[in-house]
Structure 1
Amino acid sequence: MLKAVGLFGRKKSGSSGGNRHFKDFYADWFNTLNTTLLPSLQNSMSESDSSLTHLSTQVETLHRHFQSYYDALDLAAANDVAQLLDPDWRNPLEKPFLFLGDLHPYLFTNLLRSFLNQNDSDDDEDYDNDSLTVQFADAQDRDRDQLEVLFDRPWHIATAWRSQSYDLMGKLEQVERGLRLMVPALVARARDAQAAFLEHVGRNWDYGSGLQKLAVAEAMAEQNEEMVGVFVDANRLRRSVLVEILGTTSVFQAALFLEGLAQFLVGFRDPELLAQFDLCKTPLGKQNRLAI
């Protein structure tokens, strides 16, 4: 956090401020995620003798890494929100998933639902084959060995989503209801800020008087202040969704969820995937990124 404060403090009048572009911060943050924290979490999940305390520590460390990222985003927005709302350092594969400068909060809930739905599908197949009871009553040891070999993970990790609770489903539905209210509200605020900018310029534009630059500068200052607020509130929403999910899931489920989220981000930078994406005839980045 102290590092972020140093990087993204407000610029001083009349100077460049010596501030580091957020692109450089993100590169370091991403490198730590990809080369250190994600492998550490995966190693903890693959060790059959790993203690619950050790795994909990890895989960908390990775969660703090995401939270520190959003803290840094808030500080960077106060300095230059424009570079974050339309980040030219994001590649074309990332941009369709952005909402007001960063990952859409629906991505978090959809990722969680993908785990829950996958478990429901597995259970349905087991019931269709009339084998669920047999598996756990007569062949649990064999299934455990098969799952551990298949997923290269201990039994309690491979079957983490089989023990989902009503609390988890209820929390997910509650979060999704909140997003259906808050996401459109943030979009409306951003749209209104742009409309207010145009209205201010038009109202104060006096052609030939030399006041055009002043009118634009005043309008930009007002819009910038509002957009900083919108951006910070969007980050607060992303941050709170993560907290809600990790506060309701078990340690094993939280580890799998954070692994999936980290792998999603890492996948954006995969050279082979980017090369395939470049062959697409219709770049996804040109679609409406605020569509719900």
Structure 2
Amino acid sequence: MLKAVGLFGRKKTTRQFKDFYAEWFNTLKNTLLPSLRSSMSESDSSLTRLSTQMEALHLHFQSYYDALDLAAQNDVAQLLCPTWRNPLEKPFLFLGDFHPYLFTNLLRSFLTQNDTDSDNENDGDSMVVQCDRGDRDRFDRPWHIATAWRRPSYNLMERVEQVDRGLRLMVPALAARARDAQVGFLERVARNWAFGTHKAAVEEAMAEQNEEMVGVFVDANRLRKSVLVEIMGATSVFQGALFLEGLAQFLVGFRDPELLAQFELCKTPLSKQSRLLAI
């Protein structure tokens, strides 16, 4: 948090958030994610070490959201229209950052995987099982890690349902606030434009809209933070570690050069998209 405050304080700054994100992402990919994986791959790894690595990754995500809030006070426009996001990331964004449903959908994927694993369960004699999710960097996982999502607690299931219910209320409300702010901006400009005060009309409307959009963005960011905290509070240490690993790998995967290259080759031309929409 102190680092975020230093980078994005109340005063205007020339530092672009994309520069902060590049550093944050590199730390996630090259330091924290490998450290967490290493602590999960060791059969004799202590619970304390795993908890420490998991907490470090969780705090890394929280520091990112803190930095987003502070950067919004300086220039919310660069966050709502992030030019540094690639074509794979942009469809998953909601008010400037990844949609909070990403967290709950990822969590449910573990619960669904648990059902699949139950159908292919081994006899339980082996203390280490192969955890292959298509990543060449995966390791053999100790039994207590690999089976962490079997038989999830009732409390976890109940918390997931509560979070989903909250999202179904909050997400549409935030989207409506953003839409109303945009409509209000256009109405204010149009109203004053007729009186010949073009520049003043736009500047006044932009100032009012900026204040509202900062509030909307911060509230959306607070929602993302709270969902992540809820999930971490409901999961066990082993479940939480696997969840954070999956979340980190999800973000890292978006920036995989090979995947991006394949995406660029498979993109549907705009003219064809228009024809499909017209059908």
Please indicate, yes or no, whether the TM-score normalized by the shorter chain is above 0.5: yes
Q: What's the counterpart of residue 178 of structure 2?
A: 190
Amino acid at match of 1:237: L
Query: How far did 1:281 drift?
Result: 2.9
* Aligned equivalents of 1:4, 1:283: Cα separation in 2: 40
Task: Give deviations 1:181-221, integer Å, cap 9, x for gaps.
Answer: 000000000000000001111111135x3x11001000000
Q: Trace 1:1-292 onto structure 2 (pairs within 5 A).
A: 1-11=1-11, 17-123=12-118, 125=119, 139-142=123-126, 144-145=127-128, 147-148=129-130, 152-206=140-194, 209=196, 211-282=197-268
Distance 1:248 1:149, change over 3 A: closer
CA distance in 2, matches of 1:155, 1:148: 9
Give 1:290's aligned residue: none
How far the C-alpha of 1:5 sits from its partner, in A, is 1.6
Cα distance in 2 between the residues matched to 1:49 and 1:5: 38
Structure 2 gap ranges (5+): 133-138, 274-279
1:70·1:239 contact (CA, 8 Å) conserved in 2?
yes
Shift of 1:140: 2.4
Deviation, 1:89, is 0.8
Specify whether residues 18 and 191 from structure 1 end up closer, same or farther in structure 2 by C-alpha distance, changes over 3 A only.
Answer: closer
SS at match of 1:160: coil
Query: 1:28-67, CA deviations, whole angstroms, 9 ceiling, x for partnerless residues?
Result: 0000000000000000000111111110111111000000
**C-alpha spacing 1:231/1:48, structure 2 compared with 1 (3 Å):** same
Q: Counterpart in 1 of 2:136?
A: none
Partner Cα separation in structure 2 for residue 154 and residue 141 of structure 1: 12
1:147-186 CA-to-partner distances (Å, cap 9, x unmatched) read: 2586501000010001310100000011000000000000
Read off the aligned partner of 1:3 and give its amino acid letter.
K
Task: Give RMSD over aligned pairs.
Answer: 1.8
- The one-letter code sitting in structure 2 at the alignment partner of 1:20 is R
d(CA) in 2 for partners of 1:219, 1:148? 58
Cα pair 2:13 2:74 within 8 Å, conserved: no
Contact preservation (8 Å) 1:148, 1:155: no
Is contact 2:8–2:71 with CA below 8 Å preserved after alignment?
yes
Report Cα offsets for 1:208-252 as digits up to 9, x if no partner: x3x110010000000000000000000000000000000000000
The one-letter code matched in structure 2 to 1:140 is G
Contact 1:97 1:104 survives alignment (8 Å) = yes
SS of equivalent residue, structure 1 residue 162: coil
8 Å contact 1:8–1:19 — kept in the other structure?
A: no
1:238-270 deviations in Å (ceiling 9; x for gaps): 000000000000000000000000000000110
Q: TM-score, normalised by structure 2?
A: 0.91
- Distance in 2, matches of 1:10 and 1:220, equals 19
Q: Percent identity?
A: 78
Q: Cα distance, 1:283 vs. partner?
A: 7.5
Change (3 A) 1:170 1:283: farther
